[in-house]
Amino acid sequence: MRAGDGRWQAPIFALARKASETFSGSSSHVLAKVAEPTSFVNEWSAQALRDPMSMERTNLLNMAKLSIKGLIESALSFGRTLDSDYPPLQQFFVVMEHCLKHGLRVKKSFLGYNKSLWGPLEMVEKLCPEAGEIAASVRDLPGLKTPLGRARAWLRLALMQKRLADYLRLLITRKDLLSDFYENSAVMVEEEGAVIVGLLVGLNVIDANLCVKGEDLDTQVGVIDFSMYLKNDIDDYRSEERNGQIAAILDQKNYVEELNRQLNSSVHGLQGRVDNLEKSNSKLIEELAIAKNNIIKLQEENHQLRNENTIILMKAQQQLVVTQVDVDVELDTFKKSRQGLDEMYNEARRQLREECQLRQDVENELVVQVSMKQEMDLAMKLLEKDIHEKQDTLIGLRHQLDEVKAINVEMYSKMQTSDDGMKQKNDMITRLEEKTNQITATMKLLEQRLQEVDRDRWTAEDGARKFKQDFVNKADSLQKQVAQREKQRLQLETDLKIEKEWQQTLQNNLEKERDIVAQLSAEAQQINGLKKEFHRLQDENSQLTGVCDEQEQALEELGCKLSESKLKIEDIKEANKALQGGQIWLKDKDSNICKLCEKEFSISRRKHHCRNCGEIFCNACSDNELPLPASPKPVRVCDTCHALLLQRCSSNAT
C-alpha cells in the first residue's frame, strides 16, 4: 500500500467484506438458478429471447461479482501479493475483458471492420492526466502489436497502480464519449457498469506484481473458467468465517500500525523541539560568554579613559597657569600704551572740533547764497509764466479775429445770395464792425502791455546776470577757503588713520588673547564632556551587568522549561500507550447503521471509523478532521468527538 493511503485501509477492508457478503448471496442465487426445474429454464429462455442484452448484462454482472469475490478471498488468504500466473487474477482480467467488450460498436477502416477495447480506454488519458503515464508506457511496450494487447496491458497497469476503479468511474460518467464506442444497451452504458465499477474499489486492498513485458497479450484467448466458482456450501461457510477472522485481524493490525506511525511521528516532532531548545540554549550560553567578554573589554577601556582624562586635566591646568601669566603681562603693557594714545587722541579730537566749527560756518553761508539763488529762480519762473499766459491770450484773440473774418466772409456771401434780407444784414454788419473796432483797440492795448512786459523781463534778466556774476565771485572765494580747510582735514584724517591702525593692532592682539582664552575654555569643556562620557560609560556598564543578570535568569527559566517539556513528553508517551491499549476499534460487521443518524449503510453510503472513539459513522456524520494526541496530522473524527475536543481545547486555552 502507498503511504498516503494509510487512513483509507479500514474503510477499504470494510467495503471488501461487504462485497464478499453480497457476492456470497449472488453466487447462491446463481447456483439456485442452475438447480431450478426446466420450467424456470423455459421462462428464462423466453425472457432472454425478449431482451437478450439485459440477460447478458446480468450474467456479466454476476460473473464480475464472483470473480472479484474469489480474487479478494484468495488474495487475503494467499498474502495479498499476486503475480501474473495467479489463476483468479487471470480469470478476473478475462471477465473484465468480456464486460468491456459487451455492446462495443464495430468501426470500419481501410483493412476491414475493427472492434477494439483500446479506443475507450485511451480516452481516459484525456479525462484524467494521471492516466497519461499508463498510456505512454503501454504505447512504448515493444511486444504489443494489436489494440487488444494494449487494452490488456492497460488493465494490468491500472490494477497495479490501484486506480482501475477511479479511471473507469471517470469513463462511465461521460456518456457522450461512450456513445461513440458502445451501443445504448452495453454494460458500460447501463447501471450494471456503475455497479461493477463500485465493486472494483475492493481491489485496492490487493498488491499485484505483474510483468507486462514478458507476456504475450496479443494472442491470449479469453475464456471464463466456471469450475473455480462451483463450490459446496460447507466450504463457502468455512471460507467466510476464515475470511472474516483474517479481515478482522488485518483491520486491527493496520489500525495498530497507523497508531504506531502516528506516535512515532509525534515523538520525532517532540525530539525535534527538544533539539531546537538545546540549540537555542547553547546559543544563549555563547551569547552570554560574548557579553561577559564585552563587559571586560569595556571595563578596560573605561580604566584607560580615566587615566587619559587625568593626564589631560593636568596638562590643561599647566597651560592655563602659563597663559594666565602671559595675559597679565600683556595687559600691563596695553594699559601703559593706552594712556599715551588717549592723550594724543584727545588733542586730535579738539582740533577736529575746531575745524568742524569753521566748516559749519562756511556751509551756513553757502546755504544762504543758495536760498537767494532759489528765490531768483522762482521770480524768473513766475515772470515766464505771466509771459506765457499773455501770449496764450493773444493767440486766443487772434483766433477770434480769424473767426470774425470768416463770419464776415460768410455774411458777405449770404448778402450777395439773398437780396431780400440785405437791409437787416447791413445793420448787423455795422454792429460787427463796431465790435471789430473794439477788438482791434483791445488788441492794440494788449500789444502795448506785451511790450512793457518784455521790457521788464529784459531788465530782470540784466539784474540776474549781475547777481550771478557776484555770486560766482563769492563762490570762488568760498571754494578756496574750503580747499584750504580740506587740506587741513586730510592731514587730521591721516593722523587719525595712523592712530586707528595702532588701535587696530592692539585690538588684534586682544582678540588673539581672547581666542587663546576661548581655546582653553573649549578644552575645559572637552574635559567636562569626557567626564560626562565617563559617567555614561559607567551607566552603560551597569545596564550591561543588569542585562547579563536577566539573561542568566532567562537561561535558568529555559532549563526549568526544558525539564518540564521532558516530563510532558514522558506523560504524552504514557498517554499514547494508554490510548493504544484502551481504545476499542469497532468491527465493520458489528454495525450496519450510522451511530448518529441511524441510516443504513450501502454502496453509496460507506462506513467510516472515528479515530478518537473507534465507532462507525457515515460520511456526513464524520466529515471533520482534527489533530489528536496520537497523531499531529488532522484525522477523521465524528461530530460528537469534534465538539468535545473543541470544548476541551478552549478550556485548556483559557
| The three-state (H, E, C) secondary structure of 569-619, written as one string | HHHHHHHHHHHHHHCCCCCHHHCCECCCCCCECCCCCCCEECCCCCCEECC
Tell me if 605 is assigned to some domain: yes
The residue segments making up the domain with residue 111 are 52-228
Last residue of a domain, one of 228, 244, 260: 228
pLDDT tens digits, one per residue of 219-246: 776 677 666 665 544 455 556 676 676 6
pLDDT tens digits, one per residue of 166-188: 888 888 888 888 888 888 888 88
Q: What is the pLDDT of residue 44?
A: 41
Q: What cell was used for 121?
A: 480506454
State the Cα–Cα distance between residues 226 and 546, nearest whole angstrom.
Answer: 90
pLDDT tens digits, one per residue of 480-516: 888 888 888 888 888 788 878 887 888 887 888 788 8
Mean pLDDT computed over every residue of the chain: 76
Tell me how many degrees the CA angle 425-427-429 measures, rounded to the nearest 5: 70
Specify the number of domains making up the chain: 2
Pairing of strands 207-209, 81-83: parallel
Q: Which H helix or E strand runs over 633?
A: strand 631-637
Q: What is the pLDDT of residue 108?
A: 55
Written as one letter, the residue type at 121 is: L
Q: What is the pLDDT of residue 621?
A: 92
Tell me if 185 is assigned to some domain: yes
More reliable by pLDDT, 337 or 581: 337
pLDDT tens digits, one per residue of 130-161: 888 888 888 888 878 888 888 888 888 888 88
Q: Which H helix or E strand runs over 304?
A: helix 233-417
| DSSP bridge partners of 639 | none
pLDDT tens digits, one per residue of 521-538: 788 788 888 878 888 887
pLDDT tens digits, one per residue of 615-629: 899 999 998 888 887
For the chain, counts of helices (H) and of strands (E): 14, 8
Question: CB neighbours of 634 closer than 8 A, spacing ≥ 6?
Answer: 625, 626, 627
Q: What cell was used for 550?
A: 536577566
More reliable by pLDDT, 206 or 622: 622
Q: What is the pLDDT of residue 40?
A: 39
Pairing of strands 112-114, 107-109: antiparallel
pLDDT tens digits, one per residue of 9-26: 333 334 344 444 444 444
Please give the C-alpha separations between residue 118 and each of 125, 197, 354, 497, in angstroms, as whole numbers.
12, 18, 138, 124
Q: What is the pLDDT of residue 594?
A: 92
State the Cα–Cα distance between residues 569 and 271, nearest whole angstrom.
Answer: 9
State the Cα–Cα distance between residues 570 and 579, nearest whole angstrom.
Answer: 14
Q: What is the pLDDT of residue 230?
A: 59
- Predicted confidence band at 75 (pLDDT cuts at 50, 70, 90)? confident
pLDDT tens digits, one per residue of 447-458: 787 888 778 778
Which of 101-115, 245-259, 338-352, 556-570 has the highest average model confidence (pLDDT)?
338-352
Tell me if 150 is assigned to some domain: yes
DSSP label of 628: E
Q: What cell was used for 263?
A: 506516535
State the Cα–Cα distance between residues 393 and 443, nearest whole angstrom.
Answer: 10
More reliable by pLDDT, 194 or 566: 194
Helix/strand/coil for 113: strand
**Does 638 have pLDDT greater than 90?**
yes
Average pLDDT over residues 299-307: 86
Q: What cell was used for 465?
A: 546776470
Q: What is the CATH number of the domain that holds 597?
A: 3.30.40.10
DSSP 134-197: HHHHHHH-TT--SHHHHHHHHHHHHHHHT-HHHHHHHHHH-HHHHTTTB-TTSTTTSHHHHHHH
Q: Are 170 and 200 in contact (CB under 8 A)?
A: no
Tell me if 466 is assigned to some domain: no
Written as one letter, the residue type at 508 is: N
The region, left, alpha or beta by phi > 0 then psi within -120 to 50, assigned to residue 577 is alpha
Please give the C-alpha separations between residue 284 and each of 41, 123, 296, 543, 550, in angstroms, as whole numbers.
90, 63, 18, 18, 12
State the Cα–Cα distance between residues 628 and 648, nearest whole angstrom.
Answer: 12
Q: What is the pLDDT of residue 474?
A: 78
Q: What is the CATH number of the domain that holds 197?
A: 1.20.58.900
**Does 606 have pLDDT greater than 50?**
yes
Q: Are 625 and 634 in contact (CB under 8 A)?
A: yes
State the Cα–Cα distance between residues 49 and 512, nearest whole angstrom.
Answer: 136
Last residue of a domain, one of 197, 228, 259: 228
Tell me if 630 is assigned to some domain: yes
Tell me if 146 is assigned to some domain: yes
Give me the helices (H) in 188-232, please. Answer: 191-199
Tell me if 47 is assigned to some domain: no
Helix/strand/coil for 116: coil
Last residue of a domain, one of 191, 210, 228: 228
pLDDT tens digits, one per residue of 412-463: 677 677 666 667 766 777 777 787 778 877 778 877 878 887 787 788 778 7
Name the packing angle between helices 233-417 and 422-582 (round to 10°). 170
Q: What is the pLDDT of residue 238?
A: 58
State the Cα–Cα distance between residues 202 and 14, nearest whole angstrom.
Answer: 9
Q: Terminal CA-to-CA distance of the chain, rounded, Å?
A: 42
Tell me if 361 is assigned to some domain: no
